[in-house]
Structure 1
Amino acid sequence: MTERADVLLVPPAVAPDGDDPLTHLLFAFKHEGMNLQAAILALKKIPAQSVALAFQRSPSSGYARVACYLWEIANGQRLGDLPPAVGAYEKLFDDASYVTDRVQRDTRWRVDFNGIGSPTYCITVRRTPDVVAMLDADVLGQVDKFVSGIDKAVLDRAVRWAYLSETDNSYAIEREKPSASKAEAFASLLSRAHDAEVISEAYLVALQNLAVSNPLDRADGFRDEQNRLRNEMRGALGVTYLPPSPELLRPVMDAVMALCNDRDSKVNALVRGSLASFAFVFAHPFMDGNGRLSRFLFHKVACADPRLANGLVLPVSVAMKRNEREYLAALQSFSKPSRAFWDVTFISDDQIYQDFRGQPEIYRYWDATACVEFGLRMADEALQRDLRQELDFLHRFDLVYHAINDAVDMNNNDLVLVARTIAETGELSNNRTKQLIAKGHHPDLIRTAVDAALGALTDMDDV
C-alpha cells in the first residue's frame, strides 16, 4: 500500500473482495486509522445482523468489537444475543497517530474510548508533523521559564499590555473598534480567564452581554433561531456557513461546555484551548459576539495550566490578526464541508430559507487538526514575537525614561512621549521635536534628553 497526501493506494490483491460496506469499514479501521464521523455515518446504514455476524465469527477481533461498539452509539440500540467479547482492550484511537485523552473503558465490547470529548461528541486531532513539532516545543514550558526571571512589576505591566492588545485585536479581526468603555470591559473580562468559575450557559450569556456593542444584540440564552454567516455576495452563494440548528445546538453546546470545564483532561492546555475556541465558534450559540467569546475561551481553557501564572495571557489575537488568511483557512476547514449539507434558497436580503440535508454527526464528530495546528502556531508566535518584543520594549523604555529624567527637567507627559518614541524607534523624529519646541522646551534641553536616551540604549546593547 502507498500513502499519499490525500489518498491511500491499495493493490487489488490486498483490497477487500466485493462491495460489502462492513468489510470495507473494517479494512479502513485496520489501514486508515479512525475517521469517527465516517464510521458512525456508515454504521447507521449497516444492518445489525451484519455487525453481529462479523463479531460472532471472531469475538476477539479488535476491529469487529470496535464496529459493534460504534454501531450501538450510532443507532442508539443494543446488539443482543451475542457471546461475551474477549481479547485485549482495543483503543479507539492509536496514540501514535492521534492526540488522545484519558481512557473511558467499555467493558461490554472491551473497547477503550480515548478520544477528545465523549462517545457522542468527539473531536479528532491527528498527530501531523506540525502538531508533533509544536507539542515538542512546549510553548507553555517556554512561557514559564521566560517569565520566571522577570521582575514582577514589569510582568504586571506586560500583563496589562496583553489584555489591551488582545482586546483591540480581537475586535479588529471582526473589523470593529470598541468604545473605550467596551474595550475596558473586555480587557477586564480577560483577567477572569484565570478564574476557576465553571462555564455554563448563564456564564456565557453574561460574557456575551459584555462583548457585544449593540444592546439589541445582547442574548438572554442560547439562540432559538437559525443563524448564518454571510459575505458580500448576493444570493445563496453569499451564505458561507450555517451552524447547527437550534434543536441540534443544545447537545452540541453541552458537549463544548464539558470540554471547556474538563480540568482532568490530559490533553495539552493549548490544544484544548484551540479546540474550545473553534468548537464554540462552529456551534455559534449566539446571534452576535461568537468570535470574540471564542477567542476568550482559548484563554479560559489554556489558563487552567499553572504555567500561565500571574494573570498572564498569551496575546494570540494579536498573532491571529497578523495571520488572518491562515485564520480563515482554519475556520473553513470545517465551515466549507459542512456548508455543502445545506440547501439555501435566497428570496431577498431579509428572506433566506435553509434546509439541512445532512446528519447531526457532522457537528458532533469532526477533525480539528487544521484548527489545532493554527492555534499552536499562534500561541508560539504570541510568545516568541509579541510577548518577548513587549518585554524588550518595556526594558528599553525604563532605561530611556530614567536616563532622560536624570539628565533634564521635563514634565511627565512629555517625558513619557519622548521615552516611548525613542524606545520604539531609536530616535526622536523632527516632527516630534518641533512639537516639543512649540510647547516651550528649549532645543538644547531636547538634544540633551535625546543624547542621554541614546547613550542608555548604546550601553544596553554593549552589555
Structure 2
Amino acid sequence: MAAAQQHQFSGPVIVFQEIRLPETAIPAGYSALIGAYGLAVPLPRTLSAIGEHHRITERDGWRIMTPRHAPHPTVEGHLTFALKYEGLDLAVLKRLFQVTGPVPIEALVRERPTGSYARRIWFLYEWLTGARLDLPDADAGRYVPVVDPELQWSGPVKTASRYRIRDNLPGTPEFCPLVFRTKALEKFIGLELPRRAEGIVADVPRDLLARTAAFLLLKDSRSSYAIEGERPPQDRIQRWGRAIGEAGRQPIDRDELLRLQRIVLGDARFVRLGFRKEGAFVGQHDRDNRMPLPDHISARPEDLPRLIDGMVAFDQGPAQNLDAVIAAAILAFGFVYIHPFEDGNGRIHRYLIHHVLAMYGFNPPGVVFPVSAAILDRIDEYRRVLESYSQRLLPLVEWEPTPQFNVRVLNDTGDFYRFFDATPHAEFLYACVQRTIERDLPEESAFLQRYDRFRQQVDAFIDMPERLTDLLFRFLHQNGGHLSNRARENEFAALTNDEAGRIEAIYARTFGMD
C-alpha cells in the first residue's frame, strides 16, 4: 500500500472544491479520493463526508455521516466506503486506477484475497483499464455482485470466476451509465404504467384507437421539431412520424443511426451527413469575434466509434434486462451528450426513447406515447436535466476555438460520456411517460369520441361536406364555441341564424360548455 500512502487525505473542511459543506466534516469515499489524488472528474451528484454528530443528514448535495461510518484513511478504506455507501461511479474509479497504477490494488487484494470489496475493486480495475493484474485467480469467497442492486439498477448477470464475482454491470467498458435506486423511480415502477395503458386502450373501439394513435404519432413528431425551434413543412413532420411509428423494429447500429439522420434532416444540402469529423458544442457565439460560448461540449470525433459501438452493444444486450424507461433514459440521454452528428441529434435522441419502449412492448401495439409533447410542455425542466450533467462536465473539458468558430477538445474526455449518473434523466423521463399514459392517451381518445358525436349531430339536420364540417369545428374550437362574424359572413354565410345557434348548442353540449 506504499503508493497509496504518498497521498494525503483531507481533514475536516467546510469547503471542498469551491463547494460549501453544510457543516465542517471530513471528506469520505469518492470526495476523499478525488481530493487526495487530484482527479479531474465530474463530481458525483451527492458527496459524502464524516461529521461530528451521531446522525446522518443530507443537504445541499452532501451526505454527512456519523463518526462510526468513518473509513480508514487509505485508498482501500475510502474505496470500500464508496462501494458500500455510494455505489459505483465508474468515471471516478477509472481515473483513480489510472493514477494509482496496479501496485496498491494488487496489495489490497493480496491482503484480503477473500474480501468481497477487495475482489470487486480487483474486477473493476481490470474491467475499466483492460489491464490484467499480477494476481492468481481467486479460489475462495462467496460470489458477490459488482453492482449493489440495493443501490443501483443492474444488468444481466455473468459469472466472472477469476474474481468469484457476478458481473451485473448494465453495459460494457465502452458505454455504461448507471442509475441509482430512488424512491421516485420505485414509485413510478410501482404504477405499472404498461398495464394502465392496456386498460385505457381496451376500452377504445378499434377504429377510434387507430385515429387516436395516428394523432398521437403526429403530435410527437411535431413536438420533437418544436423542441429544436423548427417548423418544418408538413411532409417532413409526417415522414418523421412514420419513422417513429416503426421504432423498435430494427436494432440500433451505425447504419440505422445514419438512416434516421437522413430522414430527420430532409434537405441536407447545407449539413454534412454522417458522423462528425470535427468537434461540436451546444451554445452560442459572442457577437464580436464569433468565439464559442458553449453550454455543453460534445464527445471528440476520435472517440465516436467506440462510444457508438458501446451504445449499440447496450441496446442489443444489457438494455433488454433493465426497466424499459430506465434503459430508454440511459440510451437516449447518452446519445444526446455524445452528439455524434452535426445536426439531427435531438430528434434522434427522442426517437431512441420510442425505440426502447417499443422494443420492450412497453406501449400497446400501434400506439406511440407522445413523449416529445410532454417534454415540450416541461421544456425548462428538460433543460435542467440536461444541464445536471453538462454543467459538471464542462469545466473539465479543455478546448480551443477553431478558425471555423467551432471547438477543438484538447484533453481525453471519452470516459465522461460513457460513464455518467443517469438518475435525474430516468426520473424525468418516467414523469413524461406517466403523463402521456394518464393524460394524453385518454384525453385524445375522449376528444375524438366527442368530436364524432358533434359531427353526427350536425349531419343529422344539415347536409354539409366533411371538409366543411371539419372547418366548422375548428372555428368553434378556436373561438370558444361560437362562430365569429367573419366565419358567418364568409365560409358559412349560407347558415341561417337558427342553424348557427343549433350548431353552437351542439358544440356546447358535446364539449361541456353549457
Given the two structures, how large is their TM-score scaled by the length of structure 2? 0.82
The yes-or-no answer on 1:215 pairing with 2:268 is yes
Question: In the TM superposition, what is the alpha-carbon distance from 1:146 to its structure 2 partner?
Answer: 1.1
Contact 2:91 2:415 in 1 (8 A): yes
Partner amino acid for 1:375?
Answer: L
User: CA offset at residue 256 of structure 1?
Assistant: 1.1
4+ residue segments displaced more than 6 Å = 423-426
Tell me if structure 1 keeps the 8 A contact 2:217–2:244.
Answer: yes
- 1:352 CA displacement: 4.3
Partner of 1:40: 94
State the match for 1:136 in structure 2. 190
- The verdict on how the C-alpha distance between 1:394 and 1:114 changes in structure 2, with shifts beyond 3 A counting, is same
Shift of 1:227: 1.6
Corresponding position of 2:158: 104
Q: State the alpha-carbon separation in 2 of the partners of residues 162 and 243 from structure 1.
A: 32
Question: 1:260: Cα distance to partner?
Answer: 2.5
What residue is the counterpart of 1:398 in the other structure?
A: 452
Q: Equivalents in 2 of 1:436, 1:353: separation in Å?
A: 56
**Which structure 2 segments of 5+ residues have no match?**
1-54
Which residue number corresponds to residue 494 of structure 2?
440
- TM-superposed CA distance for 1:416, in Å, is 2.0
Residue 178 of structure 2 corresponds to: 124
Moved more, 2-11 or 22-31: 2-11
Matches of 1:48 and 1:98, distance apart in 2? 27
Deviates more, 1:213-222 or 1:264-273: 213-222
Structure 2 counterpart of 1:345: 400
Shift in Å at residue 27 of structure 1?
2.3
After TM superposition, list the pairs within 5 Å mapping 1:18-29 onto structure 2: 18=73, 20-29=74-83
Question: Secondary structure at 1:428's aligned position in 2?
Answer: coil
SS at match of 2:247: helix
1:125 touches 1:369 (CA, 8 Å); kept in 2?
yes
SS in 1 for 2:70: coil
Provide TM-score, normalisation by structure 1: 0.91
1:69-80 equivalences in 2 (<5 Å):
69-80=123-134
Structure 1 pair 82/285, CA: closer, same or farther in 2 (3 Å)?
Answer: same
- 1:243–1:282 CA contact under 8 A, matched in 2: yes
Deviation at 1:105, TM superposition (A): 2.2
* Deviation readout 1:77-130 (Å, 9 max, x if unpaired): 111243624212121222122122221221111222223212442111111222
Instruction: Give matches, 1:26-425, under 5 Å.
Output: 26-82=80-136, 84-195=138-249, 197-217=250-270, 219-231=272-284, 233=286, 238-262=293-317, 265-346=320-401, 350-420=404-474
CA shift, 1:16, in A, is 3.3
CA distance in 2, matches of 1:452, 1:257: 54
TM-superposed deviation, 1:355: 3.2
User: How many residues are matched?
Assistant: 457
How far apart are residue 231 of structure 1 and its match?
A: 2.5
Higher mean alpha-carbon deviation, 404-413 vs 218-227, is at 218-227
- Give the C-alpha shift of residue 176 in structure 1: 0.4
Indicate how the Cα distance of structure 1 residues 61 and 148 shifts in structure 2: closer, same or farther if over 3 A, else same.
Answer: same
- SS of corresponding position for 1:116: coil
Deviations 1:137-163 (A, max 9, x none): 122221112112211111111111112
In structure 2, distance between residues paired with 1:438 and 1:158 = 29
Q: What's the % identity of the aligned pairs?
A: 24
Question: Is the alpha carbon distance of 1:3 and 1:78 closer, same or farther for their aligned partners in structure 2, counting shifts above 3 Å?
Answer: farther
What's the CA shift for 1:22? Answer: 3.2
Unaligned runs of 5+ residues in structure 1 are none
The alpha-carbon deviation at position 424 of structure 1 amounts to 7.9
Paired residues of 1:73 and 1:120 also in contact (CA < 8 A): no
* Cα displacement string for residues 377-406 of structure 1 (whole angstroms, at most 9, x for unaligned residues): 111112222222211110110111111111
C-alpha displacement of 1:177: 0.4
RMSD, aligned α-carbons: 2.5
Range with greater deviation from structure 2 (301-310 or 183-192): 301-310
